[in-house]
Structure 1
Amino acid sequence: MYLPPQFQSADRQLAAELMRGHPLASLISTDSDGLPFVSHLPLHLEERAGTFWLLGHCARANPHWRYLQERPQALVTFLGPHAYLSPAVYPDRPRVPSWNYLAVHCTVRATLVEEQGAKDALLKKLIGDHEPAYAAQWRSLGEAFAQKMLAGIVGFELEVLKLECKLKVNQHRPESHAALRAAYAAGNERERDLGRWMEKLGLGG
């Protein structure tokens, strides 16, 4: 992605926080015609020996797993909070509107997960992320039901080969920070979230 230096973050833990806080990712591969193919999927992030891995699954009917099998390198994007940037936050008038946002892009290499036990373990990690209490219900549904559900999905592990983190919150315009923080603090949920990220980054405090 276009990544001006003032918006680039090399802090892997900030990127991890963003990915875990906004886990619905866009997995982007090329299809059999060489065109982009996108699936929107929740992914589980974990770190192994200093390397990030993203775990997820798709329906067996979704051809995306075949594209990953044929061409394992892919792109995963995460979009965090985003909001309009009004020129009213500047002390002078010759300004234009913009949009602030937080995003992470990961170049990944895919490995499919087909063994039933491994798929079950992968599912339990996703359950643990989003509704730990459901684990007991999943176990209670019985082996036959679980095997049927597991047969209907293909799991995958995505090794993160390259990570880009873009935190665009007007860092390069310090004269706007106080007014922007105040505007976001009084705004909607996304705007308030961006304001908290500005605070985390030490902007406008």
Structure 2
Amino acid sequence: MYERPLYREDRDGVVLAFLHHHPLALVVTAHEGVPVATHAPVLFRHGPDGADAEAVAAGTVPLAGSTLIGHMNVENPQWRRMRSGDQALIVFQGPHGYVSPTVYDVTPAAPTWNFTAVHVTGTVEPTAEPADVLDIVSDTARRLEGRFGRGWDQESSLDYFRQIAPGVGAFTLRVESVQTMFKLSQEKPTPMRRRVAEQFEASESGTHRALAGMMRAHGLTDADEERETAG
């Protein structure tokens, strides 16, 4: 992915939080030169040398070298063709939306698309070992339920998990590089960026409102705006 410096997010803690909030990723690998892809939940497991998420979030250890986990149907041809040591690209996409030139209130102007995305590349290790699969599936279910669910306790379903585990192909990925694009109108003056954010906030789309939230979280501060005006 082309990373324009203006839109790049270099803080590993921010990138890790992005992965936590947008776990449904596009897993891309290649077989005999042909790219193949599957949408699957992919989660951070631990940082380099077993460091926890807090260490990555704090910047104590880098995101590169961390381990991600995921799974897909064992009958999926993509998983069946994965080999230990293969390279994979994991694409995480966040909120996005079209920006109409009308919001700029200037002429000439051009439309654009604001979006957020993180590309992670690394080495995959597929596994069909029942214990490994059960560990990855149960860990994924527990964490996603805790983040997005309503308090469901999987304990009474573990025997069912063991029954369906043979139909699951799991994998780990060791992160080698991370690319980011948080395109949030950074090239525009602060008042114009604010109008773009307000347009998204007024939308009925939850995705647009989430995008507005990211714009404000990554936007210029009032102090920066005052310096722009003074300068």
Taking structure 2 as the reference length, what is the TM-score of the superposition? 0.80
Residue 182 of structure 2 corresponds to which residue in structure 1?
Answer: 167
Counterparts of 2:114 and 2:221 in 1: how far apart (Å)? 15
Residue 203 of structure 1 deviates from its aligned partner by 3.6
Q: Is the 8 A contact 1:127 1:134 kept in 2?
A: no
Counterparts of 2:214 and 2:135 in 1: how far apart (Å)? 33
Q: In the alignment, which of 116, 122, 128 is matched to residue 108 of structure 1?
A: 122
Residue 47 of structure 1 corresponds to which residue in structure 2?
Answer: 46
Residue 58 of structure 1 deviates from its aligned partner by 1.5
Residue 15 of structure 1 deviates from its aligned partner by 1.2
Q: Which is worse superposed, 127-136 or 13-22? A: 127-136
Q: 1:23-61: per-residue Cα shift (whole Å, max 9, x none)?
A: 1100111123x1110111011113323433221111111
Q: 1:113-152: per-residue Cα shift (whole Å, max 9, x none)?
A: 222112111111111122252412322xx3xx44431111
Counterparts of 1:128 and 1:91 in 2: how far apart (Å)? 48
Residue 180 of structure 1 corresponds to which residue in structure 2?
Answer: 196
Q: Between Structure 1 and Structure 2, which shows a larger proportion of strand residues? A: 1
Counterparts of 2:211 and 2:105 in 1: how far apart (Å)? 21
Residue 185 of structure 1 deviates from its aligned partner by 1.4
Q: In the alignment, which of 108, 117, 128 is matched to residue 94 of structure 1?
A: 108
Q: Is the 8 A contact 2:87 2:122 kept in 1?
A: yes
Q: 1:74-111: per-residue Cα shift (whole Å, max 9, x none)?
A: 11101100001111222311001110000000111001
Question: What SS class does the counterpart of residue 171 from structure 1 fall into?
Answer: coil
Q: Which is worse superposed, 15-24 or 68-77? A: 68-77
Residue 154 of structure 1 corresponds to which residue in structure 2?
Answer: 169
Identity of aligned residues (%): 26
Q: 1:153-193: per-residue Cα shift (whole Å, max 9, x none)?
A: 11100111000111001101125212112111111211111
Residue 155 of structure 2 corresponds to which residue in structure 1?
Answer: 136
Q: Which is worse superposed, 90-99 or 47-56? A: 47-56
Q: Is the 8 A contact 1:178 1:204 kept in 2?
A: no
Residue 56 of structure 2 corresponds to which residue in structure 1?
Answer: none
Residue 204 of structure 1 deviates from its aligned partner by 7.2
Q: Judging changes above 3 Å, is the alpha-carbon distance between structure 1 residues 204 and 169 closer, same or farther for their aligned structure 2 residues?
A: farther
Residue 132 of structure 2 corresponds to which residue in structure 1?
Answer: 118
> What is the root-mean-square deviation of aligned Cα atoms in Å?
1.8
Counterparts of 1:134 and 1:38 in 2: how far apart (Å)? 31
Q: Is the 8 A contact 1:68 1:74 kept in 2?
A: no
1:37 matches 2:36: yes
Which structure 1 residue ranges, 4+ long, deviate > 3 Å from structure 2? Answer: 145-148
Structure 2 residues without counterparts, runs of 5 or longer? 49-60, 147-151, 223-231
1:80 matches 2:94: yes
Residue 202 of structure 1 corresponds to which residue in structure 2?
Answer: 219
